[in-house]
Structure 1
Amino acid sequence: MMTVLGCIVYEHNIWLVLVAVLLCGTGSWVTSRLFSKTTTATGKQRIGWQAMTALSAGVAIWCTHFVAMLGYDAGVPIGFDLSLTVVSLLVVLFGNAIGFAVAVSNRHPIMPASGGAIVGLAISTMHYTGMMAYRVQGIVSWDRTYLIASIVFSVGLSSAALHFGMRKGSNVMAVVLTLAIAVLHFTGMTAFKVEPMYVDGSFSNPDSLWTLAIAISGMAFVIVACGLVSYLIDNGTRAETMAHLRQMALYDALTGLPNRANFNERLEKELALADAQKIRLAMIGIDLNRFKEINDTRGHHVGDDVLTDLGLRLKHLVREDKGEFVARVGGDEFAALFRIQDDEMVGINRFLKRLETVMFTPINIDEAQIVAGASFGVALYPDDATNKETLVSNADLAMYRAKSQLTEKRVCFYEAGMDKAVKARRCMAADLRKALSRDELSIHYQVQTSVSTGEITGYEALLRWHHPERGFIPPSDFIPLAEENGLILQLGEWVLRTACAAAASWEPACKVAVNLSAVQFAAGDLPKLVMSILLETGLPPHRLELELTETAILKDRERAFHMLRQIKSYGVSIALDDFGIGYSSIDTLRSFPFSKIKLDRSFIDESHSSQEALTIIRTVLALGKGLKIPVLAEGVETREQLSLLESEGCGEAQGYLLGRPASLDQILATGRLRIIERPLPLPRTAIHDPFGLSDVTIGKTGTDS
Structure 2
Amino acid sequence: MRVFTCLFTEHNLWFVLLAAIMCVVGATVTIRLYRQVVRAEGLARVGWAFLAAICAGSAIWTTHFIAMLGYQPGTAVTLDAWLTIASGLIAIGGSGLAFLLATNRALKFAPAFGGALLGLTISAMHFTGMFAYRVDGIVTWDAGYIAAAIALAVVLAAAALHLTVRWHGGWRCMVPSLTLVAGIVLLHFTGMAAFMVEPISGYEPGASSEAFTVMAVAVAIAGVLILGTGLATFYIEKRMREASDAQLRHMALHDPLTGLPNRTSFSARLDTRLAGQFSGSTAVAAIDLNRFKEINDSWGHAAGDHVLCELAERLRKFDGARHFAARLGGDEFCIILKTADETELQKLVQQLETLLAEPITYGTLETTTGGSIGVAVYPRDGDDRETLVRNADLAMYRAKSDPLVNVCFYNSELGEIVRERRQLANDLRHAIDNDELALHYQVQTAIGTGEVRGFEALLRWTHPVKGPISPADFIPLAEANGLILPLGDWVLRKACLDAASWPYPHKVAVNLSAIQLTHVGLPQQIHQVLIETGLPPARLEIELTETALIKDKAQSLHVMRQIKALGVSIALDDFGTGYSSLDTLRTFPFDKIKLDKSFTDELKTDQRSLAVVRAVLALAKSLSIPVLAEGIETQEQLDLLHLESCDEGQGFLLGRPAPIGIVAQLGTRIRISGESVPVPMTGKKARSA
What TM-score, normalized by structure 1, do the two folds share?
Answer: 0.81
| Structure 1 equivalent of residue 518 of structure 2 | 554
> Would the alpha carbon gap of residues 484 and 563 (structure 1) be closer, same or farther in structure 2, given more than 3 Å must change?
farther
| Secondary structure, aligned partner of 1:229 | helix
Contact 2:137–2:199 (CA under 8 A) maintained in structure 1? yes
Contact 1:58–1:93 (CA under 8 A) maintained in structure 2? yes
Give distance in 2, aligned partners of 1:548 and 1:351: 37
> Would the alpha carbon gap of residues 561 and 59 (structure 1) be closer, same or farther in structure 2, given more than 3 Å must change?
farther
Matches within 5 A, 1:13-412: 13-169=12-168, 170-198=173-201, 206-273=209-276, 276-277=277-278, 279-320=280-321, 322=322, 324-340=323-339, 344-407=341-404, 409-412=405-408
Contact 2:457–2:509 (CA under 8 A) maintained in structure 1? no
- Which amino acid in the other structure matches residue 209 of structure 2? P
Contact 2:441–2:458 (CA under 8 A) maintained in structure 1? yes
| Secondary structure, aligned partner of 1:592 | helix
Matches within 5 A, 1:377-526: 377-407=374-404, 409-425=405-421, 445-450=441-446, 455-464=451-460, 473-481=469-477, 518-520=485-487
Give distance in 2, aligned partners of 1:277 and 1:390: 18
> Would the alpha carbon gap of residues 686 and 289 (structure 1) be closer, same or farther in structure 2, given more than 3 Å must change?
closer
Question: Which of 543, 550, 553 is 1:577 aligned to?
Answer: 543
| Structure 2 equivalent of residue 502 of structure 1 | none
Contact 1:448–1:652 (CA under 8 A) maintained in structure 2? no
Displacement of 1:598 in angstroms is 1.6
Give distance in 1, aligned partners of 2:430 and 2:260: 44
| Structure 1 equivalent of residue 583 of structure 2 | 616
Q: Which whole-Å deviations, capped at 9, do the CAs of 1:435-485 have from their partners, x for residues lacking one? A: 99xxx9886544424479774412313245678997874311133446778
Displacement of 1:290 in angstroms is 2.2
Contact 2:29–2:230 (CA under 8 A) maintained in structure 1? yes
| Secondary structure, aligned partner of 1:576 | strand
Give distance in 2, aligned partners of 1:452 and 1:418: 51
| Structure 2 equivalent of residue 595 of structure 1 | 568
Displacement of 1:672 in angstroms is 4.0
| Aligned alpha-carbon RMSD (Å) | 3.6
| Structure 1 equivalent of residue 626 of structure 2 | 651
> Would the alpha carbon gap of residues 43 and 452 (structure 1) be closer, same or farther in structure 2, given more than 3 Å must change?
farther
Give distance in 2, aligned partners of 1:676 and 1:454: 12
Displacement of 1:368 in angstroms is 4.3
- Which amino acid in the other structure matches residue 251 of structure 2? M
Give distance in 2, aligned partners of 1:550 and 1:3: 100
- Which amino acid in the other structure matches residue 420 of structure 1? E
> Would the alpha carbon gap of residues 185 and 483 (structure 1) be closer, same or farther in structure 2, given more than 3 Å must change?
same
> Would the alpha carbon gap of residues 358 and 22 (structure 1) be closer, same or farther in structure 2, given more than 3 Å must change?
same
| Structure 1 equivalent of residue 643 of structure 2 | none
Contact 1:521–1:553 (CA under 8 A) maintained in structure 2? no
Give distance in 2, aligned partners of 1:42 and 1:430: 49
Q: Which whole-Å deviations, capped at 9, do the CAs of 1:407-456 have from their partners, x for residues lacking one? A: 3x5322111111221344356568879999xxx98865444244797744
Moved more, 127-136 or 3-12: 3-12
Displacement of 1:318 in angstroms is 4.6
Identity over aligned pairs, percent: 36
| Structure 2 equivalent of residue 674 of structure 1 | 676
Moved more, 645-654 or 120-129: 645-654
| Secondary structure, aligned partner of 2:165 | helix
Moved more, 13-22 or 414-423: 414-423
Give distance in 2, aligned partners of 1:81 and 1:547: 101
Contact 1:451–1:652 (CA under 8 A) maintained in structure 2? no
- Which amino acid in the other structure matches residue 551 of structure 1? I
Displacement of 1:574 in angstroms is 3.1
Contact 2:90–2:125 (CA under 8 A) maintained in structure 1? yes
| Secondary structure, aligned partner of 1:600 | strand
Q: Which whole-Å deviations, capped at 9, do the CAs of 1:515-556 have from their partners, x for residues lacking one? A: xx62146689x76x6786567x45466644544345325335
What TM-score, normalized by structure 2, do the two folds share?
Answer: 0.82
Number of residue equivalences: 633
1:660 has 2:651 as partner:
yes
| Secondary structure, aligned partner of 1:329 | strand
Contact 1:78–1:136 (CA under 8 A) maintained in structure 2? yes
- Which amino acid in the other structure matches residue 660 of structure 1? G
Give distance in 2, aligned partners of 1:17 and 1:200: 22
Give distance in 1, aligned partners of 2:464 and 2:207: 118
- Which amino acid in the other structure matches residue 590 of structure 1? R
- Which amino acid in the other structure matches residue 459 of structure 1? F
Contact 2:287–2:334 (CA under 8 A) maintained in structure 1? yes
Give distance in 2, aligned partners of 1:340 and 1:99: 61
| Secondary structure, aligned partner of 1:582 | helix
Give distance in 1, aligned partners of 2:141 and 2:94: 24
Contact 2:119–2:154 (CA under 8 A) maintained in structure 1? yes
| Structure 2 equivalent of residue 692 of structure 1 | none
| Secondary structure, aligned partner of 1:79 | strand
| Structure 2 equivalent of residue 604 of structure 1 | 576
Unaligned runs of 5+ in 1: 489-516, 607-611, 689-705
Contact 1:550–1:577 (CA under 8 A) maintained in structure 2? no
| Secondary structure, aligned partner of 1:279 | helix
Contact 1:28–1:178 (CA under 8 A) maintained in structure 2? yes
> Would the alpha carbon gap of residues 47 and 84 (structure 1) be closer, same or farther in structure 2, given more than 3 Å must change?
same
> Would the alpha carbon gap of residues 614 and 280 (structure 1) be closer, same or farther in structure 2, given more than 3 Å must change?
closer
| Structure 1 equivalent of residue 636 of structure 2 | none
Displacement of 1:257 in angstroms is 1.0
